[in-house]
Amino acid sequence: MKFFQRSLCAAVLGLALPLLAAAQSLPTATPEQVGLSTPRLQMLSDVLKADVAAGKIPGAVLLVARQGKVAWFEPVGKLDPASGTAMPRDGIFRIYSMSKPITTVAAMMLVEDGRLKLDDPIATYLPEFARMTVGVEKPGPDGKPVLDTVPARRPITVQDLMRHTSGLTYGFFGPGLVKQAYNAANLGVDDPTNAEFSQRLAKLPLAYQPGTTWEYSHSTDILGRVVEVVSGQSLYQFEKSRLLDPLGMKDTSYYVPEAARQPRIAEPLANDRSFGVGADFNDPRVVRKLESGGGGLVSTAGDYARFLQMLLNGGSLDGKRYLGPRTLALMTADHSNAGAGIVPGPLYLPGPGYGFGLGFAVRRNDGEAPYPAAGGEYNWGGAGGTYMWVDPKNEMFVVLMLQSPKYRTHYRSLTRDMVYAAMLK
């Protein structure tokens, strides 16, 4: 017992001292000051440490903030299992689909600027999407399915891109001839620009009629291209000037060409690098032309915490406003439900109890989902293992940075269960 008390005391002191600098100026507090339990949060860190010791994951960074203050910010394990480097608080992670909320916020800034509307057909900005077709599987002469096409019944809108109802898809998971066509098209070959990628994608059939089905997809990549056309800048230039730099997200970018930052890039285990057909961990040290608004960013827990605190604050941070509170209320409302005429696709990633807003999964009520949170909570994760959620009713957000496709869903549920178990009020 005395050893546990000494260890816990050392952990609390070790956590508190560097929090301010590591969280990049976000206020800090002890867990108890914001209604959380230090022993309970330590239990979660200890579970992660045990999994590192067991060779399940290389390492992770966990950040928990409540009532506007960072209460827990702990790295565990190794940054790179090959080198054995200890995980720092500012480890740089491939966040993959956690790029989507950032790109969607960037697009909503243009909406607030009066330069973009949610009900605009995307062909207004990207003419290649003016005449889309939808793939339909029919029996061929030998009885095997063949791919036919029919015209799209209505245009894809900006709102469709934000809520994944565009009819676009991904090729690297799930069955179907449209997905096979995506894989066969090899969309990323020869290092395309965002403009070239959009033109290639527009030549393929949609998986569903626009506005009918929630299907995880390249929608946010195309949204990023819309941002480029409307703003007259590259996606990264716009995000950097309007969002990343003002927020102080100095380590959030599409690539890491700087030699000084590269030693902080987190790596997965050698046997845990694939997250779908033909989809493997990229090397962010190699700069390419494509800036994937749907999955290309790298970031740190501290950077992403500043982004989430801005959202939790209703669109402002440190006296600067990025979005209006009514815009955020619209983004975190459910846009993908039966009332909107939308049905879930075969792989409905928001899960039971959740709808989808503009860039986030949105919890419809306190029940239904198999883990705790309050209605109105919103979240998303990355294929590489990263995860975040924001719970406005409990004034809390959590960032988990991890590189493990194999165990990503396991740690999402585990982290939620144990963080909410640490709530004292």
The per-residue pLDDT string of the chain (425 residues; one tens digit each, 9 = 90 and over) reads: 443 344 444 444 444 444 444 445 899 999 999 999 999 999 999 999 999 999 999 999 999 999 999 999 999 999 999 999 999 999 999 999 999 999 999 999 999 999 999 999 999 999 999 999 999 999 989 888 999 999 999 999 999 999 999 999 998 878 899 999 999 999 999 999 999 999 999 999 999 999 999 999 999 999 999 999 999 999 999 999 999 999 999 999 999 999 999 999 999 999 999 876 667 899 999 999 999 999 999 999 999 999 999 999 999 999 999 999 999 999 999 999 888 899 999 889 999 999 999 999 999 999 899 999 999 999 999 999 999 999 999 999 999 999 999 999 999 999 999 999 999 99
- Mapping DSSP onto H, E and C, the string for the chain reads CHHHHHHHHHHHHHHHHHHHHHCCCCCECCHHHHCECHHHHHHHHHHHHHHHHCCCCCEEEEEEEECCEEEEEEEEEEEECCCCEECCCCCEEECHHHHHHHHHHHHHHHHHCCCCCCCCEHHHCCHHHCCCEEEEEEECCCCCEEEEEEECCCCCEHHHHHHCCCCCCCCCCCCCHHHHHHHHHCCCCCCCCHHHHHHHHHCCCECCCCCCEECCCCHHHHHHHHHHHHHCCCHHHHHHHHHHHHHCCCCCECCCCCCCCHHHECCCCCCCCEEECCEECCCCCCCCCCCCCCCCCEECHHHHHHHHHHHHCCCEECCEECCCHHHHHHHCCCCCCHHHCCEECCCCCCCCCEEECCCCEEECCCCCCCCCCCCCCEEEECCCCCEEEEEHHHCEEEEEEECCCCCHHHHHHHHHHHHHHCECC
Whole-model pTM: value is 0.93
* Model pLDDT, residue 120: 98
* Model pLDDT, residue 275: 77
* Model pLDDT, residue 58: 97
Which domains are assigned to the chain? Answer: 17-104+234-421 (3.40.710.10), 118-231 (1.20.58)
